[in-house]
């Protein structure tokens, strides 16, 4: 009998109960792990599933951490009660930084360590990035249509006020969902690229919708364009 896939609904429950990070160290890069071996339990029960980062996952596999410890940590995950998730370091190097917004590109050569605005919408910085000692630090401010800040990441530290949001990590991709709808899909592509393949935002009557093919801003579609910083934002929507 082959091992059935864990359903998306169960995965969402697991992320929520584990506070969106490894139960041992809080790392947002996660894998789904069975506390008791699947051939013992034979079901993907919510209580039997947990989140581990690749390092702690491999320590369990190698027998350096025992399952009882994982079980204990699952009941009291590292991120529980914390206001911020731990800072995750994204290794970046080279002399060029490329950002993709849908099919639109912004390339910057010989960049400095100063913070750069990647997406600006209605005079607010939505996505910004900064380099520090070879690491990329991303900040994100997500506002709802009433201009209320509803989700934030500050320099790779997620602020735990998720309300109706779910954050999903698959390999090097992060997906932010609001009530089951994908509003942000960011893909980290080292050594020097960041890809925003989905960004959905609204402010009053103004609507910005980024898909892999194009940017739709208030009915105007843009695709395969090159945008430059010129001291401002890579992509500015006013």
Q: Does 117 bind Zn ion (CB under 5 A)?
A: no
Per-residue interface string for the shown chain with Zn ion, residues 174-213, x marking contact by CB under 5 A: ----------------------------------------
Residue 97 half-sphere exposure toward CB, CA atoms < 13 A: 26
The tokens 């910085």 sit on which residue? Answer: 125
167 - beta bridge partners? 176
Residues sharing a CB contact under 8 Å with residue 180, sequence separation 6 or more, in sequence order: 166
Q: Does 56 bind Zn ion (CB under 5 A)?
A: yes
Q: Does 53 bind Zn ion (CB under 5 A)?
A: yes
Q: Which stretch binds Zn ion (CB under 5 A): 16-24, 98-106, 158-166, 212-220?
A: 16-24
User: Binding residues for Zn ion, how many (CB under 5 A)?
Assistant: 6
What is the distance between the alpha carbons of residues 71 and 66, in angstroms, rounded to a whole number? 9
Q: Does 73 bind Zn ion (CB under 5 A)?
A: no
Q: Indicate the residue among 29 and 215 with the shorter CB distance to Zn ion.
A: 29
Q: Which stretch binds Zn ion (CB under 5 A): 2-10, 51-59, 134-142, 205-213?
A: 51-59
Per the omega criterion (within 30 degrees of 0), is the bond before 191 cis?
A: yes
Q: Which stretch binds Zn ion (CB under 5 A): 17-25, 41-49, 141-149, 230-238?
A: 17-25
Q: Indicate the residue among 55 and 149 with the shorter CB distance to Zn ion.
A: 55
Q: Is 14 helix (H, G, I), strand (E, B) or coil?
A: helix
Q: Indicate the residue among 59 and 207 with the shorter CB distance to Zn ion.
A: 59
Q: Considering only residues 20 through 49, tell me which ones interact with Zn ion, judged by CB under 5 A.
A: 22, 24-25, 27
CB of 18 to Zn ion, least distance (A): 11
Neighbours of 192 (CB within 10 A): 18
CB of 128 to Zn ion, least distance (A): 27
What is the distance between the alpha carbons of residues 234 and 215, in angstroms, rounded to a whole number? 14
Q: Is 156 helix (H, G, I), strand (E, B) or coil?
A: coil
**What are the C-alpha distances in Å from 144 to residues 118, 140, 178, 182, 211?**
19, 13, 10, 14, 19
Largest separation between any pair of C-alpha atoms in the chain? 60
Q: Which stretch binds Zn ion (CB under 5 A): 54-62, 64-72, 162-170, 208-216?
A: 54-62
Q: Which stretch binds Zn ion (CB under 5 A): 34-42, 52-60, 143-151, 166-174?
A: 52-60
Q: Indicate the residue among 65 and 206 with the shorter CB distance to Zn ion.
A: 65
Nearest to 119 by CA among 105, 101, 102, 96: 101
Q: Indicate the residue among 88 and 121 with the shorter CB distance to Zn ion.
A: 88
**116-121 and 233-237 strand pairing:** parallel
- The contact set with Zn ion (CB under 5 A) reads 22, 24-25, 27, 53, 56
């Amino acid at each position: 009998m082959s091992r059935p896939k864990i359903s998306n609904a169960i995965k969402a429950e697991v992320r929520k109960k584990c506070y969106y990070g490894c139960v041992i160290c809080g790392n947002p890069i996660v894998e789904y792990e069975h506390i008791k071996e699947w051939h013992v339990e034979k079901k993907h029960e919510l209580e039997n599933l947990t989140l581990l980062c690749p390092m702690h996952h491999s320590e369990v596999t190698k027998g350096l951490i025992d399952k009882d410890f994982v079980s204990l940590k699952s009941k009291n995950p590292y991120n529980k009660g914390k206001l911020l998730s731990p800072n995750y370091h994204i290794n970046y190097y080279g002399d060029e930084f490329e950002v993709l917004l849908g099919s639109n590109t912004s390339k910057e050569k010989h960049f400095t360590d100063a913070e750069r605005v990647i997406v600006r919408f209605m005079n607010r910085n939505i996505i910004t990035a900064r380099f520090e000692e070879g690491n990329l630090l991303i900040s994100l401010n997500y506002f709802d249509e009433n201009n209320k800040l509803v989700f934030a990441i500050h320099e790779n530290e997620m602020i735990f006020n998720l309300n109706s949001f779910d954050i999903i990590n698959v390999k090097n991709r992060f997906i932010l969902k609001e009530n089951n709808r994908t509003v942000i899909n960011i893909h980290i592509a080292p050594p020097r690229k960041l890809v925003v393949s989905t960004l959905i935002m609204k402010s009053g009557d103004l609507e910005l919708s980024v898909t892999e093919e194009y940017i739709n801003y208030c009915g105007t579609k843009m695709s395969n364009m090159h945008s430059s910083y010129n001291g401002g934002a890579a992509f500015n929507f006013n």
